[in-house]
Structure 1
Amino acid sequence: MSLAETLDRQLDAMQRFVTLLREERQSLTQGEIDGPELERLAEAKSQVAAELETLDAQRRDVMRELGHGESRQSAERAATEAQRLDSWHQLRTIGEEARQLNRINGLLAMNRMEQNQRMLNFLKEAAGSTLYEPDGRSRRQGLNRISSRV
């Protein structure tokens, strides 16, 4: 496979990865989390990430075969020779966007997990404490004074 083909495929895969990250962010910001949807997105992201790793390794191999090193300058020179400098710059820009989206999604997921843990802790505490005295009166001070009589 040529460097031009590899860069084109890598750019396509990176764009698909960013699309999945955007969908994940959208799903994480919904009021109610759709677990199956997040699971589908995680599987799809994993597949595209594996594809990106393979394509990156292929790109590096092709660059070495063409006599280029692995530095950023070498990559730009090789992309220029393959008439894909724009694709290389897009790949780097979209890669940075993917990094940012992944970081944000991680923070959103962590925030959700912490919120869920606080809710679970509250429910455990509430379930572990009795709300009523043995004689049926409420343990809460404010509720003792409320009368249901008309």
Structure 2
Amino acid sequence: MSLAETLDRQLDAMQRFVTLLREERQSLSQGEVDGPELERLAEEKSQVAAELETLDAERRRLLHEQGHGESRQSAERAATEVQRQDSWHQLRSTGEEARQLNRINGLLAMNRMEQNQRMLNFLKEAAGSTMYEADGRSRHKGLNRISSRV
């Protein structure tokens, strides 16, 4: 595979990865989390990430074979030589977008886990004591404060 083809395929894979990250962010932002959907997205992300690793290794191999170094400047020169400078810039900016989306999704997932842990702790505490007064009213007024929204 040529360097031009590798860059084209790498850009395509990175764009697919960003699309999956956007879908994941949307799913994590919903009031009710769709576990099977998140599982599907995680599997697809894993497959695309493996593809990106393979393509990056191929790109680096080709750069080395053509006498280019590992620096960004060398990669940019090589992309220019094969008339893919725009693709190289787009790959870099899309990669940065993926990094930011992945960080945001991680924070959303962490917030979900913390919220779930708080709900579990509340339920454990409630299970250890009587939940209702003698007149049938809830003994734990805090139940109304728990929300499934992020």
Tell me the TM-score normalised to structure 1 length: 0.88
Q: How far apart are the structure 1 equivalents of 2:14 and 2:29?
A: 23
Q: Give the Å deviation of 1:131.
A: 4.0
Note the 1:29-108 alignment, pairs <5 A. 29-108=29-108
Structure whose CA Rg is larger: 1
Q: Taking every aligned residue pair, what percent have the same amino acid on both sides?
A: 87
**How well do the aligned residues superpose, as a CA RMSD in angstroms?**
1.8
Give runs of aligned pairs for residues 21-36 of structure 1, distance below 5 A: 21-36=21-36
1:10 match: 10
Task: For structure 1, list consecutive stretches of 5 or more residues without a partner in the other structure.
Answer: 141-150
Q: How far does the alpha carbon of each residue in 1:118-149 deviate from its partner, in whole angstroms, 9 at most, with x for none?
A: 0000000000012468xx57795xxxxxxxxx
Counterpart code for 1:25 = R
SS at match of 2:67: coil
- Evaluate the alpha carbon distance shift between residue 109 and residue 62 of structure 1 in structure 2; reply closer, same or farther with a 3 A threshold: same
**1:35 Cα offset (Å):** 0.2
Partner of 1:144: none
1:20 and 2:26 matched:
no
Q: Give the alignment's TM-score, normalised by structure 2.
A: 0.88
Distance in 2 of aligned mates of 1:132 and 1:100: 46
Quote the Cα distance in structure 2 between the aligned partners of 1:105 and 1:42: 12
- Aligned twin of 1:148: none
Match of 2:123?
Answer: 123
Quote the Cα distance in structure 1 between the aligned partners of 2:123 and 2:11: 47
Unaligned runs of 5+ in 2: 140-150
For residues 31 and 132 of structure 1, the distance between their equivalents in structure 2, rounded to whole angstroms, comes to: 28
Q: Which amino acid aligns with 1:49?
A: A
Separation of aligned partners in 2, 1:89 and 1:132: 63
